[in-house]
Amino acid sequence: MAGLRLTSLGGAGTVTGSKHLLERDGDRILIDCGLFQGQKNLRELNWKPLPVEASSIDAVILTHAHLDYCGYLPRLVREGFTGPIISTKATRDVAELILKDSAWLQEQDAAFLNRIKKSKHSPALPLYDSRDAQRALDAFITYPFDQPFETPNGATVRFRRAGHILGAATVDIRWDTRRIVFSGDLGRYDDPVMIDPEPVPEADYVVIESTYGDRLHQTTRAVDALADVVERTSRRGGTVLIPSFAVGRAQTLLYYLWSLRQSGRLPQVPMYLDSPMAINASDLLHAHPDDHRLDPQTCDAVGRIATYTRDPEDSKRISRSSAPKIVISASGMATGGRILHHLKAFGPDRRHTILLAGYQAAGTRGRALLEGAQEIKIHGDWIPITAEVANLPGLSAHADADELLRWLSGFRRAPEKVFIVHGEPQAAETLRTRVDRELAWEAVVPRQNQVFQL
């Protein structure tokens, strides 16, 4: 079939695994290459082959480097992809942290399953390994924001700032007389750390995320809500435990805690950033000063607000300590990492608070906690949860429904169609209805592998 076609190979009907394929006369560009996370039926999709041969994809363009947007890249390389992976410079630097860590976890998980002999496969194998991750990183080519460039198959592309995390971009593609804009994940407006999402003047088609397509963030200032949680937990002698995404969220949390300490509103309790990846990501703020609002002096001050713990033994000492404190640790949805050991230590005690500060996907421990679970399974054991569970969606790095509409309203003319992706079914459908009602634009929620002729 002639012309341009769009197919969502992931991120359709779910908030993970974003992969959107553009095709023209046998040429192929993949926008984002994310890992499926959360529920088992989604995670199993990572092991299934893509509907197209990896070797037939000419290039991958990344909007940003969170795992649900870039985490499948090493597997794509393993399956035969040999083209360039194109991103901004900061996205490439963040991807190095994310992909190396992901590969290490894949290897550790496989080794653990082989050790306890509980895998259906003998031997259990990682989805990809550190060599695959390095091969993916070697394939990166970077371009600055607002500088048009051409892909190997003749598409003209421009990155614009999307906010959200360091390096995050919207992707504006002109190909075969058509102009398609991908939002990636959009950030917040007036965020104290990240720059506002930039408007895009026009497009024939728009592909927009809908993570918070059915929700608005709290109007209460996030810093005030954070102060309230820390104060009441400290009064009862407890620890505030914050599962955090290592890239983006951890740095914003440190900024808020620093600003509270500066204003004298933070109890004099120790703070820990217990995530080697988050520590490394914090260093990237200095490397990419144009990607955020903080001046170098503030970056330094924010970085000194917490004790950084790289060593596993230091992390264990945090779990053993009964003194009041604030602990920021990965992962943000409590799917793995050091946060699990802290949840086992602090979750069963009502003095403590588990503070959820970001999106919690279906099927994760974070979602279970958000929905009031009285026990969660960690390392094969059921852990009772009597600690307070607080949720501060105002700390999210994702645009809410009104902010998504605000970004769409920046287009000077109506696109022919809006594709609503990267959201759970209710969120995507709610946003589709609002686009139809408030903007009078045609909008559709794609199904996985549904093909659209553009």
pTM, rounded to two decimals: 0.91
Label residue 219 by pLDDT band (50, 70, 90).
Answer: low
Query: Taking the domain 222-395, which CATH number applies?
Result: 3.40.50.10890
Q: Does the structure show a pLDDT above 60 at 421?
A: yes
Over 70: is that where the pLDDT of 62 sits? yes
CA distance 269 to 307: 11
Domain topology for 4-215+397-453? Metallo-beta-lactamase; Chain A (3.60.15)
- Angle in degrees, 0-180, between the axes of helices 249-262 and 222-235, rounded to the nearest 10: 70
> What confidence tens digit (pLDDT) does each residue in 84-138 have?
999 999 999 999 999 998 998 888 878 877 787 766 677 888 999 999 999 999 9
pLDDT of residue 118: 63
Q: Please state the rounded mean pLDDT for residues 278-294.
A: 89
Contacts of 44 (CB under 8 A, 6+ apart): none
Q: Which residue has the higher pLDDT, 179 or 358?
A: 179
Cα–Cα distance, 357 to 253 (Å, whole number): 9
**How far, CA to CA in Å, does 160 sit from each of 80, 94, 109, 240, 403?**
30, 17, 37, 36, 17
Q: pLDDT tens across 293-315, in order? A: 999 999 989 988 999 998 989 99
Query: Residue 267 is encoded by which pair of tokens?
Result: 């109890």
Q: Which two tokens stand for residue 236?
A: 């009862």
Evaluate if residue 403 carries a pLDDT over 70: yes
Please spell the DSSP secondary structure of 415-429, one letter per residue.
-SEEEEESS-HHHHH
Domain residue spans of the chain: 4-215+397-453, 222-395
* Chain segment 39-59, per-residue pLDDT in tens: 888 888 999 999 999 999 999
pLDDT classification of 2: cutoffs 50, 70, 90: low
- Average pLDDT value for the chain: 93
Contact between residue 16 and residue 32 where contact means Cβ atoms under 8 Å apart: no
